Amino acid sequence: MDTVPVSASSPSASPHSARPRSGRSDADAPLARLHNAYKRYGKVIALDGIDLELRAGELLALLGPNGAGKSTAIGLLLGLIRADQGRVELFGRDPQQLAARRQVGVMLQNAELPPTLRVGELIRLTSSYYPAPRELAESAELAGVSELLQRPYEKLSGGQQRRVQFALAICGRPRLLFLDEPTVGMDIDSRRRLWAAMRQQIAEGNSVVLTTHYLEEAEALADRVCVMAQGRMISEGSVDALRDRVRLKRVRCISRLTPEHVASWPQVSQARMDGDRLWISTDAAEATVRRLLDADATLSALEVQQAGLADAFTELTAAADASPANEQKEAA
């Protein structure tokens, strides 16, 4: 696959001259990709050589704690910043070319739009940047802002403003949508509507890259989840695959046994009191439950749960934090 070399140290040697044949549309070609992308800000390594490919028709959730490098990765793909090393490609082109971004829609985390402009004016303005935008009414309908078209942006509630920003993201009929924390500040109703709108984009064959702090959002929407920590991709796969990586189960019950006693069992990795419940984390739920029932005939309110995405996420990122490899990298 053709790639665009990126070099921040010599912006004049940008890839315009050595551009590959652009606009190729092999069915298998990724819409966008990062290859071994590396970016540092002073001493801080924001991206430590990550690979990422976005394919047609998928919703990819990019997860990670603050400072993991999610925004930097998106910034690279949108051409907002340049990689120190590695390759960045958007529709086979350098993302800093307008032509590459004409197939992209964007909703950023915090963008204060001109307060006195009306919603309809904002959508029209953004549509004017694209070759074949949607009709105003269609964009408004998709984002659920049809009743707001005449209202000045500053008069809208936070959730309404986010919906307008979503309308701006889809008005250009983009094949690839970048949504950075799109549902922050939204009430449940707005959030559901936005989820539906995202699903609709996928159904139309478009792709969505979503960063979010709400793991249930990724769980509900994503075909693929990438977890980042400290500038590296520490996990990639489906939501189920990610959950399966964490084999631990949660066991809860009311029991006379003390957490200290239960924690000493070999198959139990952790035990504590959660209110009046005994809370046990184990990778062998069946054996643990058998032993519990043997040891305490009065045991009640027994529950066994698969770890959720949140648990998997916590565990993965904690493991990345503890990994000594990172410190060596920082020092290098």
* Binding mask of the shown chain, residues 58 to 87, with x at each position contacting another protein by CB under 8 A: --------------------xxx-------
- Residue from 1, 2, 16, 24 in contact with another protein (CB under 8 A): 24
Q: Give the shortest CB-198-to-another protein separation in angstroms.
A: 18
185 binds another protein (CB under 8 A): no
- Residues 142-181 interacting with another protein (rule: CB under 8 A): 152, 168, 172, 175, 178
300 binds another protein (CB under 8 A): no
* Count of chain residues binding another protein (CB under 8 A): 40
Q: Give the shortest CB-208-to-another protein separation in angstroms.
A: 15
113 binds another protein (CB under 8 A): yes
* Binding mask of the shown chain, residues 4 to 23, with x at each position contacting another protein by CB under 8 A: -------x----------xx
- Residue from 51, 56, 130, 277 in contact with another protein (CB under 8 A): 130
325 phi, psi to nearest 5 deg: -55, -35
132 binds another protein (CB under 8 A): yes
1 binds another protein (CB under 8 A): no
Of 105-113, 225-233, 277-285, 292-300, which part binds another protein (CB under 8 A)? 105-113
- Residue from 72, 103, 161, 211 in contact with another protein (CB under 8 A): 103
